[in-house]
Structure 1
Amino acid sequence: MTPETRQPPRSGSINHPIFRSRLFFKFIIPYIFLIVTVFSLSGWLFFSSASEALDAELSRRLVGVADLVARTVNPAFLMRIEPGDEDTSLYRLILEDLGKIREATRVKDIHLFDRENRVIVDSDGTQAIGEENLFLQIDSYELDQVWSGRTVSSVLYRGRDGRFYKAGYAPLKDSQEEIIAGVGVEVGVDFMQIVGRVRRQFIGITLASGGCILLISFLLSRSMIRPIQILTAATEQLGNEGNYPQVDLKRRDELGDLGRHFNRMIAQIRTKDALLRRMYDEERARADILEGYSQTLLKSIPSGVLGVNLKGEITSCNPAAENILGLSSSALLDRPVQGALGACSPLEKIIMSTVTTGSETAWEEFPIEDPSGGKRWIGAMASPIRDQRGREIGATAVFADLTEVKNLQDEIALKRQMALLGELSAGMAHEIRNPLAAIQALGELLSRRVKGMAYLRDEKEKIDSAEGDLEELSRDLVAEIRHLNRFVTEFLTYARMPLFRFEKTDLPEIIDAALSLAAPSGTPERIVVEKRFPEHFPAVSVDPLEFRRVLLNLIQNALQAIGTEGKLRIEAEIVPPHLVLRISDTGPGIPAAQRDKIFRPFFTTKRGGTGLGLAISERIIREHGGSLTFETKEGKGTTFIVQIRLEESERETTLETDRSQGNRLFPGQTPG
């Protein structure tokens, strides 16, 4: 008999005793537990709420009665009562008032007492005046409240007769608001016996209800569990391949509907199973096509592509990767990245960095040795590969041969240099032509004056005047020659930057030396120089002479911008991983139209300036691996910012010193 022709299980073919069914206990026990719990909690909440409400109401009434007694009894009469006055008219008058209150409020007893718990007045006459009331010691906490001026009630307590009692207390004050006695009102709490009797009845009803529910649940479960057992057996058969069982539940209730829906579901499963098998075959064929397309696409990409797993083993490569690396796929696939890439070893670090960190590695460019003996440039980046759940399963590297691009960039750079050289040549010719024209004119004028002196030999005064003119012309001639010499020197410095000799240098010393050179005779009295350095400033690696040249130029420019009055501020700070130096002035600032020309060669706004100072300074800082920028605001001043990257050892020294001192970077300032 094939699986398709098997008979569906019948209800009579399954013989599971009802008491051995786990479903039976899961059905019965929760219901019983739930109902008993609900009844118990409901009863507990009801009795607790009722007891608390009754107790609260009784406390309120007792306190009210005690307060009424305190306001009714005349304190002057009470203070006159002494032990043995039980037969006096005053005592009987007080008892008569208390009796009226007792009868009206239906309390058990009303008694007045002093601070030593001794009876002053007892409404039922069981205790004499001055006799100690031992029951008051039980309510010592409540009595403390009374003597502090508060009304209070006691908790329920059981008396000698087995009944529950409760007492209320209030202070009795004289005309001076002084507490002279306490008022106690006691009442029997008979409702507690009623509450206990109702509780016992409720527990009996709960147990009886639980038994009835257990019987009813058992009868209902018999008709519900057996169909479920049949469905369970059919479901177990469904797990077998090619088996689609049917059930026969001849019922007209929900379980019968469930059996019919189960048979309909099985038929749909059979149909959809066949459909899924057909779709699986189609998707498998489509996946094969896509895989072939992906391989074709990978082969057609001009950039090299390598795929590696988490072990660092190469799992895929395309023909472009083989051509760029000069290696065949057989020499790459299933081999560790380390040592497999030959001359392209920097690519190993990029790929393994992504594999170990799980993050993308930015585009990097590096040279490699060509087998022919030349040099090639390679650009590469790597990204992690993740599955559908986001888990890392490997990495892929994309790289390209940038040799032609680099050659083109070199050609463009050469053309830019030639253009810059033409611009420098034009500027240089202009700067040289002006002093030469002045020298020529001064020389011709000097020649004419010398010839004129030959005709004035006999006239002494005219000769003295001519000699003064000759001296002035000579000074002008020398000044133009010096200007031309300074320009040629600065131009040679800019065009042929000297070799830098880096050494550990004390920056504050360089700043002080630059200040001294900028103002040999000292700064004017109305110019304030302010210096701010870190307390423990590390030695930095710079060329001291060239760096001083930069500082000298910036300080001279700042002093010229300030004029005769203002402030020059020089401050340095460590902003890891950089050293930041700021030179600020309170001059007029740089106009907006000139700001993009500041660092251009030969651009100057100063008379007699060469326009090379800032250009040379910016180039020196750039050769130090840093940057020279500025911030300016017209009418407020200008700040030039020198930023140089610190070496690792310098950064570590700075951090260790700062931690050991426990100081901030700027603990104070050094006035200039």
Structure 2
Amino acid sequence: MKWFKSQIFWKIYIINLAIICTLLGLMFIVSRIILPEISKEQYRQVTDKTVLRMKDQISLIAKDLQSLENYVQSNENFKSNDFNQLSRGLANIIDISPYIDSGTVLDTNGYVRAFYPNDLKHLKNYNLSKREYFQQALKTQKIYLSNVVSADTGRYLLVVSIPVVNDHKEVERIVNLSLRIENNEIFQSIFQSFKIGENGYTFIVDRNGKIISHPSKERIGKDVSQNPIVKKLLKKQSGYQEVTNTNGITMLASFEYIPILDWGVVAQIPADEIYEPYFAFQKSLWTISLVAFIVLSILTALYARQIIHPIRRLYLAVDQVAKGDYNQRIEKIDNTEIGKLSSRFNEMIQYIRQSKTNLQLKEEQLKEQKEFLRKIIDMNPSYIYAIDKEGNFTLVNESFAKLLGTETQHLLGKKIDDFQFNIESNPVSVWEEIEKMKERIVLEEEFKDQEGKTRWVETVRLPIFSPNEGTDQILFVSTDITERKQAEELLRKSEKLAVVGELAAGVAHEIRNPLTSINGFMHLLKEECETHKHYFEIMESELERINFIVNEFLMLGKPQVMNFQRKDVSVLLKDVMTLLDAQAILNNVKMISEFEPNLPLLYCDENQLKQVFINIIKNAIEAMTNGGEIKVQAKVQDSCLVIRFIDQGCGIPKDRISKLGEPFYSTKEKGTGLGLMVSYKIIEAHNGSIKIESEVGQGTTVDIIFPI
């Protein structure tokens, strides 16, 4: 045996390789999960610090603007009405503050009374009363910083409106100081000096979401209020978030709301730049891992080879024993655990040799007994099965498996709900009853088989007790009593038919003769007595009804001779529909035929079938008191010829459908029930069946099914 063919070698080798691969995999996973987060957190600290630095700068600007308010209030130039003094005051402010590029002085009506520099001379006497910053300063009598304002020249401004208040707390004029956002290099340089990586940048938005500061001057004044981060800033929120910019680049951004000026600042950096060190590390990690894997694989192979060397001799001996050579003995290998194992192995072989014969004998006996019991269970025609508390099958015989349309091995371990077994009571629901009674239960149950037919079984339920006297399983032994039930039902019907037949024959003969005499005398009296003609017509109608019932009695009492021939059912149906068409029209009923082409010929008695069709269609017409449609269909379905009658009548309650066909039971007020009973007999004589489905208020469907 070569060392590289040893399973032990490969197990040791594979286990060690698995450990190596696991460690390397963990390294990759850790680097994939932790390193991006570390990079992300590091850059978050950078963007957070940048935002805080910008916040500090904005605070300084706010203080500078506050000092401007104090300067304006204390400057005598702004209390004068002279244009030159007012302009001089504006010039002084522009010289003092690096953030102010221009200014105007407005009276309380909003008219420009002074300006500086001269490029604003077009604003002289111009009315700015509708500007928000003017209205806010006039209303609140406090300094007000505007949102980004678009000037008439197309420039974007920030306007600081400072009210000049007299000793009576009245506003005398408004001083507007403007910061020209694009042109004020000091303002822009303060915020654009914050560098974040290679491609990161910062920007500032006002309270309406318009950009105040941005590295791209084209973006200044743009409305970015729909940006997810800006939306949060407008809600006065701060935080850290991943967002996609207008160029579709994923950015990681820190943002801070600045309440002192009602601004928002954002510092963001592309996600790709953050993860760039991680990607570089991943590439180098692949190379390192590959080299480590190769080196460790070689070392593992050498180590495994050393381990299996003393096992090789033991393996050869064990292999012979495994092949059935129990006379094999192993010489002592060494004093290690493997050597001790070889000695114990020799003792084990001796014990196995002694017990093998006894074990084989017992196995044969148990196998024969098990096969015998299995044959008894499988040959039993009853349905035998057992379930545990979870409803899983633990035992089934072949009869029960065939009932469910499967095999025994497919049932074991599965639940009864997994199969179509529509029995009245679920076996799982009898647990409480079984545990209370501690004895068997016998009951009759009804269910639908795989073909949808109703079957009856007599089921014995037996609890199977566990060693702790609890019920572990339930054994069900169900005997099919369908034929017995059918025989009982057939006997009941036969007895009823026999009684009806005898009664029909006797009554028909006893009534027919006097009925003929009465009918004859009635016609004689009718001719002689014209005054009571209406009564005679009623008597004549009732005598015809009695005669009709007598004829039906005779049909029950006297077997009819049938003449079977192959006939086209569609032709028979058309003849019947033509015959009853006049009656249908009188009752406002329309008959519709739907016959499949090339229907097979039916071996039948033409007159008998026509009698059945006439009876069913007449019943349908009489049930449709408000008119409607009767569909007559003929088709081949499941190797059977199906003739279907669908009406739109009043329908039949479900509890009455099972009684249809019994003598003297009818859903009609003046019906005898004999017509449908005769129809059942005729169809049964043709080896067919009648199926009736109905819903009250919806109509009735009658299927006559003939095997082809």
- TM-score class, shorter-chain normalisation, is 0.3 to 0.5
Normalised to the residue count of structure 1, the TM-score between the two structures is 0.43
Higher relative contact order (CA 8 A, sep 6+): 1
